[in-house]
Amino acid sequence: MKAVLKQYSTLLKTLGFMIMLSVLIITLLKTQSPKEKRTEITYSIEVVKENGNWLYKVYRDDLLYIKQEYVPAVYGKQRFASKNDANQVAQLVLNKLQKQQLPLITKEELIACKIAFQPL
């Protein structure tokens, strides 16, 4: 009888160990998926005229991400001179975001795109 109880006890310990090991493996597999599914971020731009001034808006997944009312990288609050200027800067920003870069614009980029602004 003692031998049967000892075998039963050993069987229960082994079974318990296997269950614990299985739970551990499943937990690790769930938390360490090798390639987590990353949803693609989409950006879009809109150039609009508000209160008589041109500006651009950048949307990230259809949510407003950036609203730029003034020419970036220049001194003071200088408005965009035209729809084309606002659109060109918006395109620069969009290209940088799509390349996963910071959407910072430099004076050199403004000059290269012939964006109108007053240097001070």
Which residue has better confidence, 55 or 18?
55
Averaged confidence pLDDT in the chain: 86
Percentage of residues in the chain having pLDDT higher than 70 = 71
Residue 58's nearest CA partner among 94, 101, 92, 102 is: 94
For residue 4, CA distances in Å to 12, 13, 14 come to 12, 14, 15
Model pTM?
0.68
Question: 47 pLDDT exceeds 70?
Answer: yes
